[in-house]
């Protein structure tokens, strides 16, 4: 029995330092991983803050540009900006559609910074303006002048009491207020 206790004592003498070493190592590794996790979290937060500082102004600018696009293709503004003087209705029709297409293509990349719903509203507004101009053009008699087309488009907007871009402009403004809290 004395041999057993002597052997047990020898095992304890050998195992105890190993257990203390393993325990200390575990404690040190635990602290190390906690510190690493904290640093990683701080870096992620810093990166997120930095991205917000960079992205937010770009997103706001995108919304501004889209509202400007919508304002520029609003029939009353479009017709004031592009004079029908001296043109046939056919020439003026082509010019108006070309201007809408150019404005839209110039600002197409802004969709990256806004919601799908907002971009759909912008698309619908553009399509509504194009449809309005096309329908009005088709209703004109052959040989009509550009001024006749401009006049009829404005009359149609006034009779319907609805600007084809108004809903999209309102939607985009609401999204800006909701997204950026202004």
pLDDT in tens, the chain (182 residues): 778 778 778 878 888 888 888 888 888 889 988 999 888 888 877 777 676 678 888 999 999 999 999 999 999 999 999 999 999 999 999 999 999 999 999 999 999 999 999 999 999 999 999 999 999 999 999 999 999 999 999 999 999 888 999 999 999 999 999 988 75
Q: Which residues of 76-113 are buried (b: 16+ CB within 10 A; e: fewer)?
A: eebbeebebeebbbeebbeebeeebeebbeebeebbeb
Angle value at C-alpha 120, between 119 and 126, nearest 5 degrees: 90
Residue 138's CB is within 10 A of a number of other CB atoms, namely 8
Sequence-distant (≥ 6) Cβ neighbours of residue 3 within 8 angstroms: none
User: What are the residue boundaries of the structural domains of the chain, listed by start?
Assistant: 2-180
**pTM exceeding 0.75:** no
Three-class DSSP category at 143: coil
């Amino acid at each position: 029995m004395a041999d057993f206790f002597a052997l047990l004592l020898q095992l304890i003498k050998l195992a105890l330092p190993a257990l203390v070493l393993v325990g200390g190592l575990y404690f040190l590794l635990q602290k190390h991983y906690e510190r690493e996790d904290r640093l990683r979290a701080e870096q992620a937060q810093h990166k997120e803050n930095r991205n917000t500082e960079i992205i937010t102004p770009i997103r706001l600018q995108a919304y501004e540009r889209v509202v400007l696009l919508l304002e520029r293709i609003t029939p009353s503004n479009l017709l004031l900006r592009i004079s029908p003087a001296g043109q046939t209705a056919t020439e003026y029709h082509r010019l108006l559609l070309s201007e809408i297409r150019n404005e839209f293509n110039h600002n197409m990349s802004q969709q990256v910074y806004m919601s799908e719903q907002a971009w759909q509203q912008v698309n619908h507004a553009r399509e509504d303006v194009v449809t309005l101009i096309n329908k009005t053009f088709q209703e004109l008699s052959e040989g009509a002048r550009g001024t006749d087309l401009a006049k009829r488009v404005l009359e149609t907007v006034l009779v319907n009491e609805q600007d084809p871009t108004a809903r999209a402009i309102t939607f985009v403004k609401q999204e800006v207020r909701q997204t950026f809290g202004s």
